[in-house]
Structure 1
Amino acid sequence: MHRSLLIPALASLLAMPAAAQAPAKGVADDIFADHPSMDRNATVMPGPDAKPVASLFSERPIGDASVARTADGGWILTGTSLRNAPRHGVELWTSKDGKAWTNWGPAKIAGNGIAPGDISERYLAPSVTVAGGKLYLAFSDKTGCARIAIGTTPGGAFAASPCLVEDVPDASLFVDGDGPGYLLWGGGYIAKLALGFQKLAEAPRFLKPDQAQFAKHPPVGKDWPVRTRVGRSDATMVRDGDKYVLAASEVTGRMRTATEDLFVAEGPTPYGPFSMRALAVPHAGRASLVKLGEGRLAAAYNPKCDDGFALFCEQVGLVPLERAPDGRLRQAASVITEDSAVAARKALITSETMRDPSVTLGGDGYYYLVGTLDGYGYHRPEGGVKLWRSTDLKTWSDAGFVWRWEGMGYDFGKNIAELWAPEIKWVERDKTYYLAFSVMERGVGGKTWLYRSTSGRAEGPYANVTKSYLVDGIDGFPFEDDDGLYFLWGGGNIAKLNAKGDGFDGPVRKLVDVDGDHVGYEGNGLIKVNGVYFLTGAEWHGPLRTHGTYDMMYGTSKTLFGPYSQRRMGAPHGGHGTAFADKQGRYWYTMFGNDPTAPWRMKFGLVPIDIGDPASIGVSRIGAARD
């Protein structure tokens, strides 16, 4: 957990200003206008001094954390007690400074069938609300009934309401100012309460995004699950000025693990109409919103231990929220909520956009870099393939264009053609560089060319190995093995190049894992370490075009053609990149940021990867990240 990095002062949290927002770059291609890699869709935009969210409360393991401010500026906290120590009743803790906590024990709740101190009661998901000089506890009793208990002090008596709604595992209370109260539960059920909060004043209704927003159909995959709900559990609400913020949690499967994230939507009334849902805090768990004062909001951070990339689990932190340029809420630029070396890193080239970056260590000791440029690829006849070089993987110099569109041996006609995924590779046996790149022809599909440097220098000039394109499909990758040069493309196609390098010697094969699945549906690459082949590739996990992650997957084999081990996560957010060894024998993976929870989007960066045993790739946690 690297706790030495996780404890910023609470005063700094409360004093945090909103982060400055850089203007978004224009979109080069209208088909990508709403792509998750656009900065305007970003959930995570960490600033240069961003720190991991701190664990403010670790007195005992709890879930479903609920945090509120008290009238004197202090804090009150509750949640579902887990595992050790007594687990009956509703436990309350208070703090003056968010550091030292006083445990008041189980709240003294009585009335309407609840006996004080009844140890048979196992309350679920209690939440705390402070309003009008009173403390309100919303909870589900042992029969599954949602109730509200009303008191004035944590150590005093609380009077329980009758059963308000049956079969509710996660009730919360919203009090609008010091007036009307609303019971919320599930992924967005709401019912107004009668005066005194002893019964419902209306039939429950379910809150979800306003369907009028979907009159114009969004890109395929963009309407699920945005259209149907805000979340699946622990609905809660706060008022932020003239807006009502509805929050709920959901396990989405981002990063191929049990990430439970906090989503929000906003409307002008407690009933909406609500905006499309937005991911506000990744890894937050089943948490609550907290008003910090002066118009600032925060979210409790209380992940479960099932989340493999949470910073801690069953403890409680606070994540300040800020407004994105379009007005939606998201986690502030001052915090990091993911425990991986990816989340803590920064882009290395920020002067222009880059996708699908490829790095090779050349025969002259320089590292060379190419990638998809101009947003989502240059349109013919503009641009080409640009080269950067570095001696230390930190500082990169622009060497200019090394290839342009002339002499490709193919007639595109009037079709739109986009240059994608260039790959550069130093081939030791030939003492020269190879350059592969794909062209996506609108309405036709993608094709991939292979060029070879005629000078032995990375700067070229480069000549086509054949008279036209080499293969149908995209994402070409040259791979040098002991017996020759191979070419990998698409979702795992591979063939050995002939002696001239202008065609294939032998059949085209398909690299798959032991289940017969591709390791990555695009962006495949290969490295060989101590006789073991590592096949990498890109996959989306979670909601595809909304809040999913574009991750690097891998499989291993002792033979080139496999089958490879069952695919596993290699680098979260890594997606389409290239693995390579540096001069010291350490391994890296290139990354460009293609999803809303990546620490940057469409910029070149490097992620350290660990090959700790003959058959695994790992990514360090924040505290172990390399420079």
Structure 2
Amino acid sequence: MTMRSSLYLAASYLIASCLITGAAGLSPVGAQEQTFKKAVADDIFSDHPSMDRNAVVMPDEDAQPVTPFFSERPIGDASLAQREDGSWILTGTTLRTGTRHGVELWTSPDRQTWKNWGPAKIEGEGIVPGDVSERYLAPSLTVAGPALYIAFSDKTGCARIAGGMAAAPGGAFAASPCLVDGASDVSLFVDDDGTGYLLWGGGSIARLNEDFSALAEAPRVLKPDQALFAEHSPVGKDWPVRTHIGKTGAAMIRDGDRYILAASEVTGRLRTATDDLFLAEAPTPYGPFTMRMLAVPHGGGGSLLKLAGGALAATYNPRCEDGFAMFCEQVGLVPLERAPDGRLRQSASVLTEDSAVAGRRPLVTSETMRDPSVTLGGDGYYYLVGTLDGYGYHRPNGGVKLWRSADLETWEEVGFIFEWQDMGYDFGGNIAELWAPEIKWVEGDKTFYLAFSVMERGVGGKTWLYRSTSGKAEGPYVNTSGSYFVEGIDGFPFEDEDGLYFLWGGGSIGRLNAKRDGFDGAVRKLVDLDGDAVGYEGNGLIRVDGIYFLTGAEWHGPLRTHGTYDMMYGTSTSLFGPYSQRRLGAPHGGHGTAFRDRDGQFWYTMFGNDPTAPWRMHFGLVPIDIGDPTSIGVPRLGDARH
């Protein structure tokens, strides 16, 4: 954690509790909110995304990956509707194989076997039945009683609606004249009173006349209520939370007295083209809408449904460019649930991300932990430390606590090994928080080293280095330098063949002298081939078969609103680099430590710092693969160990 990230958070992150305005009467289900020590007046972490109340995914122990119910043909922009008899009807943009003109329809009694009706028989001005040049993109379906409506954009870019009978998908559909020119991703919403609304793009809307043959009003664009941003105006990559709900595939349904608007956007979470589904809610079809909420990560452009019994669900139909989607160009269904504050998100019963991280569970849940560090000691045990008490103990409380494990599964609490002693520094009356402890067994010295950082509000961060005088992980520890060791945070001791090094900040490194109370030679900066830092915080190092792996933490996507806090890495044959261009290592891994266990398996520690991590602020492990001598790989969901 850095002051830079903390100040940015204070300026840009918008509290999730105001996502649902006027949502009284909702019945929240799902995860319980985490509780932390009472925040002080200037607590910049009071609404950090790692808190459970901001969670987008909170999988149950037995959560299962979403599976496709339709794979007859690759399609995108899937639209699924349920008919009055409970059977299903599906359409979408047909891709590459088979018929590509018109609007293809499929029906199924059970979402298991599908009957293809071929291109719908759409009749209307300018439409020639069977004309293979009639390529319609992103058609959508709406069932209103016995009627079935197909909304589409014709080959000239005109938004149109074709009406027919839901019981007769092979029958004729009468198309309206052009409703809007230059429209894409067209959909129809029919309210409970029969009023129809045309939606298109990422959130344009207009009410239709009684027979849906023309607009009854001027179009308007739906976006979050700007009053929600009066006190906290988003900046930088967070700006989209203010300007729109999504960029494509706008669609609407009604849930009780709330109108739910869905739209999709490729956000760049996980450093890939994440194809995500966003939602917002309002008391009317026109708003005022809540801030957008990421509801189904990797959900793609699809449709919302109200199922029998009133449950809500969304189709899952991501594009193949999304490197962490569970599948692509097929169609699945994701049940939705309400978070404790009323936000809609994917159900805890389902997993929608294909990574080993998504299906894992934390290993220590007795208290919160951030920035976990694990080392294999000379005695054969694994030792763990991390940032505790929410976002760090406030001086003079607490300190650094130690856990021990023989198997990386069961962790025994040893107790505090540092409690604000022998620091050689006067904090005055400043608020001081203890962050990012790092424990390291150093074979050459036959003892453990402990580094940790203290952030002083209004002053900045400093890092201390302590050494165990007993050779044991529990200490006692003494300060190697008599005061703080370096200015900056996130210290990391690294043992190489020629001595012990100290890495901190965004890549500063120096070799320690024999007394370990200072540096022997110049301090250097580790950068990649472009001169950039490999992670702006939380750097670590391992060496495998002569290759140095420099890890670090970065945010990707819409930062702390919906982004991911990922582990990045670069490689080099030289400790001082330059390192290869940074690449994604462990998704959601962020600030952690890479290490090798007794059996040769590599692991990365993780604590969950973003809303789409499978847990938040608890210690867990992610298996990583360094089979390729210059790359870090993370197995897919089905390959993850325990």
TM-score by length of 1: 0.96
Matches within 5 A, 1:1-40: 20-26=30-36, 29=39, 30-40=43-53
How does 1:99-114 map onto structure 2 within 5 Å?
99-114=112-127
Give yes or no for the alignment of 1:194 onto 2:204: no
Match of 2:221 among 202, 206, 231: 206
> Residue in 2 aligned with 1:11?
none
Matched, 1:592 2:607: yes
Q: Is the 8 A contact 1:536 1:553 kept in 2?
A: yes
Corresponding residue for 1:379? 394
Q: Which residue of 2 aligns with 1:120?
A: 133
Q: State how far apart, in whole Å, the 2-side matches of 1:432 and 1:219 are.
A: 47
Counterparts in 2 of 1:167 and 1:222: CA distance versus 1, 3 Å: closer
Counterpart secondary structure, 2:240: coil
CA distance in 1, matches of 2:47, 2:238: 12
**RMSD value, Cα:** 1.2
Q: Does 1:185 align with 2:203?
A: no
Give the secondary-structure state (helix, strand or coil) at the position aligned to 2:394.
coil
Alignment correspondent of 2:318: 303
Could you tell me how far 1:119 is from its partner in structure 2? 1.2
Please tell me the residue identity of whatever aligns with 2:614. Answer: P
Aligned 1:270-289 pairs, distance under 5 A:
270-289=285-304
- In the TM superposition, what whole-angstrom CA distance separates every residue of 1:332-354 from its partner, at most 9, and x where no partner exists? 00000000000010011111100
Give the letter aligned to residue 386 of structure 1.
Answer: K
* Distance 1:376-1:335 versus aligned 2 partners, 3 A rule: same
How far did 1:295 drift?
A: 2.1
Counterpart contact for 1:18–1:332, Cα < 8 Å? no
The CA deviation at 1:282 is 0.2
For 1:458 and 1:56, locate their aligned partners in 2 and report how far apart those are by CA, in whole Å. 52
Contact kept, 8 Å, 1:28 with 1:374, in 2: the verdict is no
1:226-237 map, 5 Å: 226-237=241-252
| Contact 2:238 2:559 (C-alpha < 8 Å) held by counterparts | no
Q: Which amino acid aligns with 1:111?
A: G
Q: Check if 1:458 corresponds to 2:468.
A: no
Is there any run of 5+ residues in structure 2 with no aligned partner, and where?
1-26
| 1:36-56 C-alpha deviation (Å, 9 max, x unpaired) | 111111100001110000111
1:430 aligns with 2:472: no
Partners of 2:30 and 2:75 lie apart in 1 by 35
Letter aligned with residue 23 of structure 1: E
Counterpart residue type for residue 583 of structure 1:
R
Match of 2:494 among 455, 479, 484: 479
Distance 1:27 1:570 in 2: 33
Q: Residue deviations 1:367-420, cap 9 Å, x none? A: 000000000000000000000000000000000000010220000000000000
C-alpha distance in structure 2 between counterparts of 1:390 and 1:285, whole Å: 41
Aligned-partner SS, 1:170 = coil
**Structure 2 CA distance for aligned equivalents of residues 400 and 32 of structure 1:** 26
Corresponding residue number in structure 1 for 2:510: 495
Is 1:164 the counterpart of 2:179? The answer is: yes
**Match for residue 576 of structure 2 among 531, 550, 561:** 561
| Partner AA of 1:105 in structure 2 | G
Displacement of 1:27 in angstroms is 5.4
Q: State the alpha-carbon separation in 1 of the partners of residues 330 and 234 from structure 2.
A: 38
1:147 aligned to 2:160?
yes
Question: Is the 1:28–1:376 Cα contact (8 Å) retained in structure 2?
Answer: no
Say if 1:238 and 1:246, in contact at 8 Å, map to a contact too. Answer: yes
Q: Is the 8 A contact 2:238 2:558 kept in 1?
A: no
One-letter amino acid of the structure 2 residue matched with residue 308 of structure 1: G
- Contact 1:191–1:202 (Cα < 8 Å) also in 2: yes
Separation in 1 of the partners of 2:494 and 2:208?
67
2:263 aligned with 1:253: no
Is contact 1:233-1:248 (8 Å) kept?
yes
Q: CA deviation at 1:26?
A: 2.7
Which position in structure 1 is the counterpart of 2:23? none
**CA 222–116 in structure 1, closer or farther in 2 if over 3 Å, else same:** closer
Give the 5 Å matches for 1:362-373.
Answer: 362-373=377-388
> Per-residue displacement from partner, 1:61-105 (whole Å, max 9, x unpaired)?
000000111111011110000001120000001111111111110
**Aligned counterpart in structure 2 of residue 242 of structure 1, from 244, 257, 279:** 257
Q: Secondary structure of 2:340's match? A: coil
The DSSP-based 3-state class of the residue aligned with 1:546 is helix
1 CA distance for matches of 2:192 and 2:70? 28
Which residue of 2 is the match for residue 7 of structure 1?
Answer: none
Give 1:224 shift: 1.9
Counterpart for residue 149 of structure 2: 136
3-state SS, counterpart of residue 241 of structure 2: coil
Alignment of structure 1 residues 433-444 onto 2, 5 Å: 433-444=448-459
Q: Secondary structure at the match of 2:609?
A: coil
Deviation (angstroms), 1:28: 5.4
Which residue identity lines up with residue 107 of structure 1 in the other structure?
A
Structure 1 residues not aligned, in runs of 5+: 1-16
Worse overlay, 518-527 or 214-223: 214-223
What amino acid does structure 1 have at the position aligned with 2:555? W
Query: Alignment partner of 2:404: what SS?
Result: strand
> How far apart in 1 are the matches of 2:619 and 2:607?
5
Partner SS for 2:638: helix
Find the partner of 1:293 among 265, 287, 308.
308
Q: Which runs of 4+ in 1 moved over 3 A?
A: 17-20, 218-223
1:311, CA displacement in angstroms?
A: 0.4
